[in-house]
Amino acid sequence: MASLSPRRARLAARLRTVRAAASTSGNRFAADLGWQQSRVSKLETGRQLPTEADIRHWVAAAGSGTDVVAELLELLAAARIEYVTHRDDARRGGGLAAVQAEVAALEARVTRIAEWQPAMVPGLVQTAEYARELLVRPGRPTMTEVDEDGVNALASERIRRQDILYQPGRRIQLILGEAALHSAPGRIDTLLGQLDRLISIAGLATVELGVVPFPAMPVMPLSSFCLHDDTVVFIETLTGEQQLHEPDEVAVYVAAFDLLHDAAAIGPDAVALIQRVAAGLR
* CATH of residue 111: 3.30.870
Pair (198, 264) in one structural domain: yes
* CATH of residue 63: 1.10.260.40
Residue 201 is part of which domain span?
Answer: 83-281
Q: Does residue 1 lie in a domain region?
A: no
| The model scores a pTM over 0.85 | no
Pair (205, 103) in one structural domain: yes
Pair (145, 217) in one structural domain: yes
Pair (54, 178) in one structural domain: no
Q: What is the pLDDT of residues 61-102, one digit of tens each?
A: 999 999 999 999 999 988 877 776 666 655 555 556 667 777
Pair (225, 96) in one structural domain: yes
Secondary structure of the chain as H, E, C letters: CCCCCHHHHHHHHHHHHHHHHCCCCHHHHHHHHCCCHHHHHHHHHCCCCCCHHHHHHHHHHHCCCHHHHHHHHHHHHHHCEEEEEHHHHHHCCCHHHHHHHHHHHHHHCCCEEEEEECCCCCHHHCCHHHHHHHHHCCCCCCCCCCCHHHHHHHHHHHHHHHHHHHCCCCEEEEEEECHHHHCCCCCHHHHHHHHHHHHHHCCCCCEEEEEECCCCCCCCCCCCEEEECCCEEEEECCCEEEEECCHHHHHHHHHHHHHHHHHCEECHHHHHHHHHHHHHHC
Region 30-55: mean pLDDT is 91
Region 139-157: mean pLDDT is 66
Q: What is the pLDDT of residues 96-146, one digit of tens each?
A: 666 777 787 888 889 999 999 999 999 999 999 998 898 886 655 554 556
Q: Does residue 242 lie in a domain region?
A: yes
Q: Which residue has the higher pLDDT, 140 or 199?
A: 199
Q: Does residue 15 lie in a domain region?
A: yes
Region 247-260: mean pLDDT is 93
Pair (87, 219) in one structural domain: yes
